[in-house]
Chains A and B, each alone.
Chain A
């Protein structure tokens, strides 16, 4: 092998044998786009602050990679968080973080776009910047550094990361990203020396939030006092972007095919975006509204092209809940007919807990009965009404019956604990549901054949911004642990219980509704070694406590404190499309135990997503009230 052509390649040669899964770092996968950097104006490093296997599974990143590389003037390349062993090697050898396609240092790119999917990746965001040799604080960067851009669900409350980011894109990126790249390209052509001009131009683009152009003041009690533009000409509120027509929104046709196995190792067709089921804990159920479907013809055509271009043996219909796609049965049948011949299976990653969905699953998974997952989320009808989880015990029973009849013998149930209003009887109800699942299995199989493999996964509730529960406190850690042990004592031993660590949920809850004052704590935790905090083997709660204490942060102020209706929230200036009044109304209905039906099949709930009110830009949200309720569903 000829050494010495390329210093990065040579260093990598010596690094890769020392790290786990070296294929994470080699690039060169099928369909990876490599452009000559001399032929483009803008170099865009698209980063996902998680390991390759997770980042590569993210449809949103595939979409942006495709959108950006469709531009002749732009080369977009991928960056993932190096696992801790690779980080150690990079630091040992002094090799800077590089993009997979060209292996060029990320610091040499014009834009570094970071996807914010999860609060527990925040330390990885800092680590990416540091490994790239980019100053962490936006204020310390100039036009010679990449523009650090962020997007994704956590971008709708990015305040804890605000000092580290130059600009933040709210909502769906496929349109606005072009406007951002145009602005950067023009700025580069003009040879701008200062970052300020570009930032002000970006702030003028609808959907782009430039945190450094806003100013916050705090009250003595720690709540926000004011939040507003620090300079004239900057919008008071930034409204998220969304695409109107999915059929006219280009879908990636040649996604990168990884060598090593990734989390979602299959071709993905996005069948629809958004969900209006209205689960009150769910942020995705708010921020991706309204529902927009892709036509069945286009879904089938995309499926054909995607399999042609990737050779995947599995095709997944991607959506927040695939069985809600209006033409689902017909589309699944057509896809099975179309793809069966070449050994391609269809998968539905997200299913409702009802018999219809099980029937669908049966239809597409005629051969592989690997496992079904249902998410009742709560143990009693009362609590499911509070959270507006439109699944009844009857639905669930039928779903399980149907699954066991069709031959499934592995079922997983997802629950949350610590939901608002949760009482002991809800925990007892949860155990009853587990017992009922076992009972249904015994009835269906008559106690013969294989044993039921029942998995139960229980996660603490984390209140999120832009949801009806954004004002609610999280249960204290002690309380969560007590409920956990109560359940542990009562769950039958045969059941495989898995717990989401409440300590992680606690830190997650701090950041999910955090403000700018948390930034030093993230930096401190990172400096103390925090990485991959979503991985239990990497997470260290004591380190986080130390970081909070060291930066004067009281975690309970963020996680456990109920907010008043008129409290100024750190994300109030970021308009996710849904009105704050709607969220408050939904909160009131939650505490009244009133469900709100899906507007796809019932009346409009006036959430504001489809028809933003004219006044919304002026700050109508300030006078939030639960009183007037034009047309919310009948319950």
Chain B
């Protein structure tokens, strides 16, 4: 599924709810969990940062009543709000391991709007230095505690393209269950080394692909 345009302002939790509602409007019979508070069996592969667009959102849903992939796609598509687009639907064995467990990495394209030529050059250089280094600590504050994370080993690939008033950084980031880093964090860390200040809204993230280890699902665009 793709998440584009203003749909990028839908948070991950809200996206789940939006899909649930679209499924109900589409009269698609979703299986529910057991217990006190039955929830639709719907799970996403990987949460996306608020504000980012994506062409690689994956979710799986357990159906209570079987239907073909084509039927599912047509029914759901007709009920999705603008910005959310079904790209492909395929059947998977229901006993398989959860989608999220198979995801190993994601590729992002981060566009940084920079009107000054020197700034673009400086950030470009910072990216090259980052990739040549073996470690790059960044500090992360959560609930008043500061924690250091080494971003470098988590970035598998980083390629930079310079445009007329922007810099494009394409990066592949490992989604390790023990920890990962957000593409915006990497960009912020790079900007800090130069240093240049990035205005909010100057950085736009687009997820291009999720990469799985076992199945071919999510292997590129």
Contacts and interface: CB of A to CB of B under 8 A. Distances in A.
B88 interface: no
Interface stretch (A11-19, A173-181, A469-477): A11-19
Interface of A: 1, 13-18, 22-23, 26-30, 257, 259-261, 307-313, 342-344, 367-368
Contacts of B51: 16-17, 22
Interface string B1-19: 0000111011101100110
B87 interface: no
- Please list the 4 inter-chain residue pairs (A to B) with the smallest Cβ-Cβ separation, ordered nearest first: A311-B21, A14-B201, A311-B24, A311-B25
Given A23-B10, A23-B11, A367-B37, A308 B25 contact: yes
13 contacts: A1-B204, A14-B199, A17-B51, A17-B200, A22-B9, A26-B6, A28-B6, A28-B7, A30-B18, A30-B81, A257-B81, A312-B21, A342-B27
B217 interface: no
A374 B30 CA distance: 35
Contact of B82 (A28, A261, A310, A368): A28
Nearest to B4: A1
A18 B200 contact: yes
A23 B201 contact: no
Interface string B199-221: 11110100000000000000000
B83 interface: yes
Interface in B6-48: 6-7, 9-11, 13-14, 17-18, 20-27, 29-30, 32, 36-38, 40
Contacts of A17: 51, 200-201
B10 A260 contact: yes
Most chain A beta carbons < 10 A, residue from B5, B25, B36 = B25
Given A15-B201, A26-B9, A259-B9, 17 more contacts: A14-B199, A14-B200, A17-B200, A28-B6, A28-B82, A257-B21, A257-B81, A259-B10, A259-B17, A260-B11, A260-B14, A311-B20, A311-B21, A312-B21, A313-B20, A343-B30, A367-B37
Nearest to B26: A311
Interface in B176-200: 199-200
Contacts of A342: 24, 27, 29
Nearest to A18: B200
Q: How large is the interface on B (under 10, 10 to 19, 20 to 34, 35 or more residues)?
A: 35 or more
A16 B21 contact: no
Contacts of B26: 311
B73 interface: no
Contacts of B18: 30, 259
Nearest to A367: B36
A151 B51 CA distance: 36
A252 to B, nearest CB: 16
B67 interface: no
A309 B7 CA distance: 20
Contacts of A343: 24, 30, 32, 38, 40
A311 B23 contact: yes
Interface of B: 5-7, 9-11, 13-14, 17-18, 20-27, 29-30, 32, 36-38, 40, 50-51, 53, 79, 81-83, 111, 199-202, 204
A259 B7 CA distance: 9
Contacts of A27: 6
Contacts of A308: 25
Given A18-B200, A260-B14, A311 B6 contact: no
B150 to A, nearest CB: 26
B37 A368 contact: yes
A309 B201 contact: no
A355 to B, nearest CB: 24
Most chain B beta carbons < 10 A, residue from A16, A261, A307, A367 = A16
Contact of B21 (A26, A310, A368): A310
A1 B203 CA distance: 12
Nearest to A27: B6
A345 to B, nearest CB: 9
Contacts of A368: 36-37
Nearest to B22: A311
Contact of A261 (B17, B23, B25, B204): B17
A260 B18 CA distance: 9
A297 to B, nearest CB: 23
B14 A259 contact: yes
Nearest to A309: B25
A30 B10 CA distance: 13
A313 B37 CA distance: 12
A9 B10 CA distance: 17
Contacts of A311: 20-26, 79
Nearest to B35: A367
Most chain A beta carbons < 10 A, residue from B30, B40, B50 = B50
Contacts of B37: 367-368
Nearest to A370: B37
Contacts of A15: 201
Most chain B beta carbons < 10 A, residue from A13, A22, A308 = A22
A286 B204 CA distance: 53
Contacts of A18: 200-201
Contacts of B200: 14, 17-18
Contacts of B11: 23, 260
Most chain B beta carbons < 10 A, residue from A13, A29, A259, A312 = A259
Contacts of A261: 13-14, 17
Contacts of B20: 311, 313
B23 A23 contact: no
Nearest to A11: B201
Nearest to B51: A17
Contacts of B9: 16, 22-23, 26, 259
Given A311-B22, A367-B38, A259 B81 contact: yes
A503 to B, nearest CB: 31
Nearest to B53: A1
A246 B20 CA distance: 32
Nearest to A343: B32
Nearest to B19: A311
A269 B51 CA distance: 34
B26 to A, nearest CB: 8
A13 B36 contact: no
A260 B81 CA distance: 13
A307 B191 CA distance: 48
A88 to B, nearest CB: 13
A15 B200 CA distance: 8
A214 B203 CA distance: 55
Contacts of B14: 23, 259-261
A343 B42 CA distance: 14
Contacts of B111: 1
A624 to B, nearest CB: 52
Contacts of A344: 24
